[in-house]
Structure 1
């Protein structure tokens, strides 16, 4: 995947994507070479320097790493791209898949009762997984938008799926009760180019800040 090169719009000094403004003159950053980003709604690759919406599902694309955040999210209730809810709840939800595998042992457990502990564990994993994914979806649909800031971006070596490690993004955002910190795991390694201090839009439930998500979601 080709990474873009950015430069100051005012003095044309090339930037390394570690800053939001030109270190030489303080001017805004512009794209010199194509940026390919994956859509957070459906994972399709898009030339982000040519379009603001996914060519496959029509969903809003994330902003280019190292550039200013997008305009404020749409007014709630918000429209989510087709198929996104099922993706988050089921087939792109590792904990749901683990819980489902555990529940398969229900039928052998009926014949050999000590094995019933396995589907019981699976049931609680499924319940927790669906509750967590519903929180994320509710935040996207009806959450209040607020300013978020990236704290750190790194490869999470503690997790892996199919021999791949996700990119972990730690962030914080403003709430009526102060700042709240959270993180998200994503798979598009272009996100490693997002510098600490980069601004994001976060949508959240003011009554429960743990119910939050990045808008638009990252892949």
Structure 2
């Protein structure tokens, strides 16, 4: 059995890439060949990861989900407000609905668009980034936020490149596995021209 390190999908028969997220899969024999105390090493760049993987990251990010909800609610409020504004009698109710809806819609779209651009950068790092061995420094569950009856997890990590220490973090709704706990070694993918653009591998 082969498990996709990117999205956790199980496959009975090996294939070169995941049908769900497009991430590259490693043969089971190669995974066993690695030292047990080291994490799974990323395949060489460029990695065949689907651009649509950015949307999967969006729907696993609590803040991105909030932005999308704001945009949807804003659109609904705007349509209802516009309909009420057309009627002379209901205009005094429709105008506040219309402006409230437009405000929600604009805020939601800006938030969702900004976060989508960030997810696209992460996908680009996952496709073309160089790999370096780093360490997970903190894993924390955010009990103040609930999305679909789940609390998001924040995984913080650090790595060194050219003598400089860099840090990064990722938020996920998936419970971190045994290999993504505080103090564990982890591979980090980064952009050599801008190491601040980095991502944890496998990306939760």
Q: Same fold (TM over 0.5)?
A: yes
SS of residue paired to 1:134: helix
Q: 2:55 aligns with which of 86, 89, 102?
A: 86
Secondary structure (helix, strand or coil) at the match of 1:146 reads: strand
Query: RMSD of the TM alignment (CA)?
Result: 3.6
Q: Indicate yes or no: 2:46 matched with 1:77.
A: yes
How far off is 1:124 after superposition? 1.3
The structure whose residues are more often helix, as a share, is 2
Are residue 68 (structure 1) and residue 38 (structure 2) matched?
yes
Deviates more, 1:124-133 or 1:147-156: 147-156
Q: Which runs of 5+ in 1 are unaligned?
A: 1-35
* 1:41–1:81 CA contact under 8 A, matched in 2: no
Q: TM-score, normalised by structure 2?
A: 0.67
Contact 2:24 2:47 in 1 (8 A): no
| Deviation of 1:186 (Å) | 3.2
Decide which structure has the larger Cα Rg and report it. Answer: 2
Q: The residue matched to 1:189 in structure 2 has which SS?
A: coil
The 8 Å contact of residues 167 and 192 in structure 1, kept in 2 or not, is answered as: no
Unaligned runs of 5+ in 2: 86-94
Q: How does 1:76-155 map to 2 (within 5 A)?
A: 76-80=45-49, 84-89=53-58, 91-104=59-72, 105-106=74-75, 107-108=78-79, 110=82, 111=85, 112=95, 113-115=98-100, 116-155=102-141
Q: What's the CA shift string for 1:22-68, capped at 9, x where partnerless?
A: xxxxxxxxxxxxxx997453343579xxx9x998757447x89x831
What's the offset of the Cα at 1:125? 0.4
- Which residue in the other structure is 1:21 paired with? none
